[in-house]
Chain A
Amino acid sequence: MLRPDINDLLTQTGPGTPMGELFRRYWQPVLHTDELPEDGCPPVRVKILSERLIAVRTPEGEYGLMDEFCAHRGVSLWFGRVEEGGIRCPYHGWKYAADGQAIDVPSELNNSEFCKNVKLRSYPLVKVGDLLWSYLGDPAKQPPLPEWEFATVPSEQTFTSKRFQECNWLQALEGGIDSSHVTWLHGGGPNGDGLEADPLFAGARGNQYNKGDLKPYFEIVERDGGLLIGARRNAEEGHYYWRVTPWVLPNFTMVPPRGDHSLHGHFWVPIDDENCWAWSFDYHPVRPLTAAERDAMKGGAGVHSKNVPGTYRPVANKDNDYLIDREKQRTGEWFSGVEGIAIQDSSLQESMGPIVDRTKERLVATDVGIIKARQKLRRAAEALRDYGTEPLGNRPAHQRIRSVAVVLPADQSFVEGSGEAFDARPGVAQTSV
């Protein structure tokens, strides 16, 4: 259980809230580059951390992210016309540069003087990898650009999708940290193939260890910037199979790899307090993704989802009960009756309600990873609020991290036994079983 005030602290991310201010110390993914595909393309609405913004790409190729609404009468600039040097409101012709500065107010006689005093709130919008990232905090505290490996490998080695999830960000994040649900929710029913049925997981030796030991042990270890959450299962005599999930503050998680399949993970980005983006990425550190892998990802396999065309809302969503198949659930082909890892997660996390009341939960010891992550988030938010302490996780050193799957002798800890496996090293393959 969690006290109501702490639940509020962790789940509220709007401007001025402690967790909102914490988030505003990190670069966050905002758009896929495909959403602003060319110079001078139409603007895109962005809502993040409860702020309504508009993203533009000027004819000169400059990216900008600014307040969605015109300073004059509050018209949405989504209706605006992208022109040389910025975007013009269609109502009375006010024009803004990519940094939100008004540069033309046609009705004013002394146009340039008036403009000086009109500036929309704006934030940097920067391309790193295939994504556009923004930093919504104090410019003086802006950290270096993100260096997550999925965003820094060549484009042919990486794939990122996103889906709209209709619940608070923390519910989604906790699913990413909670390794103990995998055996059940994603493991397949007694008559199903479970992970073997997914082309992005099939064939890995690790899948057999998963099936052979349904009651893993867990080990939670602190690491600069977050936690390593290790799940330990029996392997060959005298050995354990470890699957280790990194979490980096505040909202980055990775899934342990399987065989030579790509690595994958998530960013859980608050849209507002009742919705979030689940950014899902796959990448291989040393080889291009194959056409078959890319097709599978686009088709909703692995951690990705099949979305309604033209949107980021999954085809299986709460309006259609996630297309639950009771027959497959009954026969044990799919444990939950819902198809696909992403929707298996979202269906249950959204069913908890927009913001789950954690005062009513009954946690168990295997939830220690979640308990510890909440504690670290709370401490980071309070330290920033009370003492101005800069949080961990927003430095490249904390971002050069990988998940790991490894078989180790029983007397070795996963930290020592894995050596540099947790470090993202260019040109070095992942450690996986």
Chain B
Amino acid sequence: MAEPSPVSRCARAATAKEAAYRIDYPLAYARSTRVVAFDDEAARTVRAVMDEPWGQAQFYSAPGPGHELLTVAGEARPLAGELADSDSVIMVATNRVNAEAVATVGAAAQVRAIMTAGLLMADEDGLTGETFMAIRPYARILLAPADQDDLVELLRAIRA
């Protein structure tokens, strides 16, 4: 067992008074986030939050097999290009999830070591096992059931 430090640094550093003097500087946006909706209902949720003043977050839907993402303006973009400078992908889906697109986007993110989070929005019948199965292998963290507020709070929390 180590001897106690003769003059404690922790005791001085962890007081309320000291905390007021911590270095204060603006934090940069930490994440280059891609938010992808995998069905129409999820796309409505994504559109509802995209107008907030986000930093580098970009918003898409994935209507086909997922090799192309659709911007909110309706412009098709190759998946690989959109992931090129991204470090996190948030996957939003409901029971109508486009599982093929999830697999495409999820695998592409995994190959690039991009962090993935899945938010599953439940309808009145809850979430089906198929919905979980579609997204579970690809989401490093999965929140279910989630709602629009969860998406907003996640994006805020990670400074997207």
Contacts and interface: CB of A to CB of B under 8 A. Distances in A.
B117 interface: yes
Contacts of A390: none
Contact of B27 (A219, A360, A368, A371): A360
A321 B4 contact: yes
A354 B4 CA distance: 22
A145 interface: no
A322 interface: yes
A353 B15 CA distance: 6
B154 interface: yes
Identify the interface centre among A350, A362, A416: most chain B CB within 10 Å of its CB: A362
A411 interface: yes
B159 A413 contact: no
A353 B145 contact: no
A372 interface: yes
B111 interface: no
A371 B157 contact: yes
Interface in B110-149: 115-117, 129, 132-133, 136, 139-145, 149
Interface stretch (A43-51, A103-111, A323-331): A323-331
Contacts of B2: 323-327
Contact of B158 (A166, A347, A357, A363): A363
Contacts of A428: none
A219 B140 contact: no
Contact of A355 (B11, B19, B117, B142): B19
Interface string A336-363: 0001000000010011111101001011
A366 interface: yes
Interface residues of B, number: 41
Given A219-B144, A368-B141, A372-B143, A351 B153 contact: no
A57 B159 CA distance: 52
Interface string B2-33: 10110011110111101100100001001000
B140 A366 contact: yes
A192 B117 CA distance: 32
A35 interface: no
A41 interface: no
B141 A220 contact: yes
B51 to A, nearest CB: 19
B132 to A, nearest CB: 5
Interface residues of A, number: 45
B82 interface: no
B15 A371 contact: no
B88 interface: yes
Contacts of B19: 353-355, 357
B16 A274 contact: yes
Contacts of A34: none
B98 to A, nearest CB: 19
A312 to B, nearest CB: 18
A357 B4 contact: no
A280 to B, nearest CB: 21
B83 to A, nearest CB: 15
Given A322-B10, A365-B90, 12 more contacts: A1-B156, A1-B159, A217-B142, A220-B144, A319-B8, A320-B4, A321-B4, A362-B159, A364-B88, A365-B154, A368-B141, A371-B153
Interface of B: 1-2, 4-5, 8-11, 13-16, 18-19, 22, 27, 30, 88, 90, 115-117, 129, 132-133, 136, 139-145, 149-150, 153-154, 156-159
